[in-house]
Chain A
C-alpha cells in the first residue's frame, strides 16, 4: 500500500503540485492522468524521492521514507535514454546494484529478464547497437529487475509498437498478480481505462477527479450516446440537444443535455447519416478527460477525493 497525503511542491513561480492525495493498495494498478504540465511527473518524482515535497507525506506500506525505501522502488522515467556506449548487461547490473541488489543475484535476475524479453543474445552488445524498441525493453527491465514493491512508470506506453505494448501490459498484469503497487502516468485514456483499477486526474497541480474507474464513470451516469456511422459526421459537433461531442471519423460520443432522450437525438441524426450502432453508456474516460480538463462543464464533486 502506497499512500500519498496532501503532497505539495512549489517551484519558483508555480505551484506544481497542490495538496495531492491518493492511496494505491498492493496488487493494483493506479493511473495518474492529466494534461501536459499538470504535475504528474512532479508528483511521481516526490513519490520516488527525486524531489523533496514542501509538505505532505508519502508512506510506503505504512512507513515513512528512509534510505532503505529506495531499494523497494522501481522507476521508468518518461524521457528515455541509456548509456549509449555501454554494454547492456553492465548497465543493468549497475542499475540493479544501485537498488541494493548483490552483484551475483543481480546477474541471475538480469539474465532471467533478458531471456523473458528475448534479449539474451544481445547481453554483451552496446546499447547503441540495439533497436529503439529493444532499448525501451532494457529500460523497462531496469525498472523492475530488483523486484520492487512499488513500480512507478511515467508514460510507459508512449512510443511503443503494439507488440511491445502488449508485452509490457502482460508484465504489468503479472506484477499486479504478485501484489505490487503499480503507478503509471499516461495521456492515453483508453490504456488507462483498460489497465487501471483506480485513477486520479490531475490538472494544474490539483486532483480534479479520482476513484476506481467504475466510480468515476458512475459519477457521470449513463447519459452518453456512443454512435458508429457511415457518412460525414461533421455536423454532429454543432448538433442541438447534445454537448461535449467527441468526434472520430466513423464514430462519435456525446452527452445528452437535460430533457433530451436518445430517441430525440437519433431522430435528428437519422436523416443525415447511416447509423450502424447506437449505445447509451457511461462516458469514456477520454470524454471525461476532455470535459474535465477542458473546463466546459463543472466537475461533479466526488464525496471523497482521491481514494
Chain B
C-alpha cells in the first residue's frame, strides 16, 4: 500500500507541476466560456455604420413605404438610420435582369450591402436577400417584418378597411418551454441554459479524460523509453505501479474538477445565475469519477504496449472520437431525451458517463436507470482494470515493434 501511495504521490506531484497541466487547468474554463459567449456576442453585435440595401421593385408597390419604415424604425446609436434603402431603377428600358446584373456589380464593388427583388403580387411570396455576408440573422428578419407590414396594410386597404385595424387585431402569442423537475415543480431553465449546461459538462468530462489520459500514456511511454520502468517493476509489482498511477491521476482529475467547480460557483455568484442544480452536480461528479476510472484503464491498456509518441497520438485520437460522440448527439437528445436509441447508448460503458452528463441536465433519468448504469460502470471498471493490468504487466516491458491486437488479446487471456 505504501508503494502504491509513493507512486500516486509521484505521479500527482510531477504532473501538477507540469506546464501542460497548468495550461489545461486555466485554459479549459476560458475555452468553455469562450465557446458559450463569443458566438452570441458576435451575432448580437450592433452595426456601427449605416448599411445600404438595394431594392428592386418592378411592381413599384412597396418601395416607398418600405423605404420609409426601414429607415425610421431601425436606428443606430447615433440616431442615424441603420439601413438606407436604395431603390434600383427598373422600368424605362431597364429589365429586371439588367437591374439584377447591376445590383450584383454594386454588391461586388461594396457599394451596397445587399439587395432583394420584390416579386410583387401582394400575396405570399419568397424574397431572397443577396449579399456577400449571410451570417447576419437580424437583417432578413427585419426585412421580413417590414415587408409583411407593408403588404398587409395594402391588403387591408384594398378591402376598404382602416389600416389601424391591423394593430387592433394583432395578437401577440409567445410560447416558451418550461422544464419541470422530477417532482413536477417548475424549474427556471430555458432551452439555452439546459443546452449550455449539458454541453459544458460534456466538454469538461471530455477534456478531463483526454488530457489526463494523454498524460498517463505519455508517462508510461517515457518510462519505457528511458527504461526506468525496469527499476520501477523491480521495486514494486506491476499491479502496485498501475494502481499508483491510476490513483495519482485520479487525484489530479479531482484537483482539476474542484478548481473548475470553484470557478463555476464563483461565476454563478457573480452573475447571479445558477448553471446547475446542486443535486445534479453531485450525481455528475459520480459519473465523472466512474468515467475517469474507466478511461484510465482503457488508456493504460491502449498505451502500455506502445513505444512512441506518434503511436500514442493515434490511439488517443480514436478514443477522442468515442468520447466526442455524445456531443454530436446533444441536439437530438435535447429534442427527445427519452428516445430509445439515446437510452440504449447510455448503457454502453464507453458512453455511459458522457451520455449521462448529457441527459441529467436535460431530463433527470429514472432512479433505476441511474443505479443500473452505476452498477454497469463499476463492473466495467473492474473488468477493464484487470485486463489493463494484464496488458500493462507485459506491455511495459515490450520494446521494439508494437504488438498486434491478436497478441494483446492473448496477454489478457493468459494473464
Residues of A near any B CB (own CB < 8 A): 45, 48-51, 67, 70, 73, 75, 77-86, 90, 94-95, 97-100, 142-143
Chain B residue with minimal CB distance to A102? B2
> Secondary structure at chain A's binding surface: helix, strand, loop or mixed?
loop
Chain B residue with minimal CB distance to A139? B231
Assembly CA distance A61 to B227 (angstroms): 28
Decide yes or no: A81 and B230 within 8 Å by CB, A67-B237, A90-B13, A97-B6 being known contacts.
no
Q: Which residues of chain B come closer than 8 Å to A95, judged between CB atoms?
A: 231, 235
Decide yes or no: A98 and B236 within 8 Å by CB, A83-B222, A85-B18, A86-B14 being known contacts.
yes
Assembly CA distance A80 to B231 (angstroms): 10
**B227/A77 in contact, CB under 8 A:** yes
**A100/B2 in contact, CB under 8 A:** yes
Chain B residue with minimal CB distance to A75? B234
Assembly CA distance A142 to B6 (angstroms): 15
Assembly CA distance A132 to B107 (angstroms): 68
Decide yes or no: A94 and B230 within 8 Å by CB, A70-B235, A70-B236 being known contacts.
no
**A75/B231 in contact, CB under 8 A:** yes
**B228/A100 in contact, CB under 8 A:** no
The contact of B14 among A48, A51, A75, A83, by CB within 8 Å, is: A83
The contact of A50 among B10, B225, B233, by CB within 8 Å, is: B233
Chain B residue with minimal CB distance to A70? B235
**B3/A100 in contact, CB under 8 A:** yes
**B236/A51 in contact, CB under 8 A:** no
The contact of B10 among A48, A85, A94, A99, by CB within 8 Å, is: A94
**B231/A142 in contact, CB under 8 A:** yes
Assembly CA distance A94 to B231 (angstroms): 11
Interface centre among A81, A86, A142, by most chain B C-beta atoms within 10 angstroms, is A81
**B227/A98 in contact, CB under 8 A:** no
Q: Which residues of chain B come closer than 8 Å to A51, judged between CB atoms?
A: 397
Q: Which residues of chain A come closer than 8 Å to B6, judged between CB atoms?
A: 94, 97-98
A-B contact pairs, 23 of them (CB 8 A): A45-B230, A48-B234, A70-B234, A73-B235, A75-B230, A75-B234, A78-B227, A81-B226, A81-B228, A82-B226, A83-B14, A83-B228, A84-B226, A90-B10, A90-B13, A95-B231, A97-B2, A97-B6, A98-B3, A98-B236, A100-B3, A142-B231, A143-B231
**A98/B18 in contact, CB under 8 A:** no
Chain A residue with minimal CB distance to B3? A98
**B234/A50 in contact, CB under 8 A:** yes
Assembly CA distance A50 to B399 (angstroms): 14
Q: Which residues of chain B come closer than 8 Å to A143, judged between CB atoms?
A: 231
Assembly CA distance A79 to B231 (angstroms): 11
Chain B residue with minimal CB distance to A47? B234
